[in-house]
Amino acid sequence: MLNRQSVPAGLITFSPLSLCIHRCPAIFILLVFIAFSSGCGNNANSVPPMVVGGLTMGTNYTIKINEPDIQLSIEKINADVAELLADINNKMSTYIDDSELSLINKNNSQEWIPVSAELYQVLSDAISISKLTNGSFDITVGPLVNLWGFGPSRQPQQSPDAAAVSAALATTGFEHIKLRKSPAALKETIDDIYIDLSGIAKGYAVDRIAEYLAQQNIENYMVEIGGEIRASGVNEINFAWRIGIEKPLPGQRAVQRVIKLDNIAMATSGDYRNYFEQDGKRYSHTIDPDTGRPITHSLASVTVLHPSAAWADALATAFLVMGKEAADKLARQEKIPVLFIVRTKADFEESYTEAFTKFLLDK
Q: What is the CATH number of the domain that holds 153?
A: 1.10.3980.10
Task: Say which residues have a Cβ less than 8 Å from residue 138's Cβ, sequence separation at least 6.
Answer: 130, 172, 173, 174, 289
Residue 163 belongs to some domain of the structure: yes
* Tally of domains in the chain: 1
Q: Is residue 183 part of a domain?
A: yes
Cα separation of 233 and 2, whole Å? 18
Please classify residue 343 by burial: count the beta carbons closer than 10 Å to its beta carbon, then call 0-12 exposed, 13-18 middle and 19+ buried. middle
In a domain, 204, yes or no: no
**Angle ∠(76,78,80) on CA atoms, nearest 5:** 65
Instruction: Check residue 74 and report its DSSP letter.
Output: H
The whole-angstrom separation of Cα 295 and Cα 286 is 6
Check residue 4 and give its pLDDT: 36
User: Residue 124, Cβ neighbours under 10 Å: how many?
Assistant: 13
Length of the chain: 363
Single pTM value for the model: 0.87
Q: What is the pLDDT of residue 7?
A: 35
Q: Answer whether residue 313 is part of any domain.
A: no
Does the residue 344 lie in any domain? no
pLDDT tens for each residue of 228-264: 999 999 999 999 999 999 887 766 777 888 999 999 9
pLDDT of residue 23: 35
User: In which residue ranges of the chain is pLDDT below 70?
Assistant: 1-46, 151-157, 250-251, 272-283, 363
In this predicted structure, what is the pLDDT of residue 35? 35
Whole domain around residue 146: which residue ranges? Answer: 106-188
Q: Looking at the domain assignment, is residue 63 inside a domain?
A: no
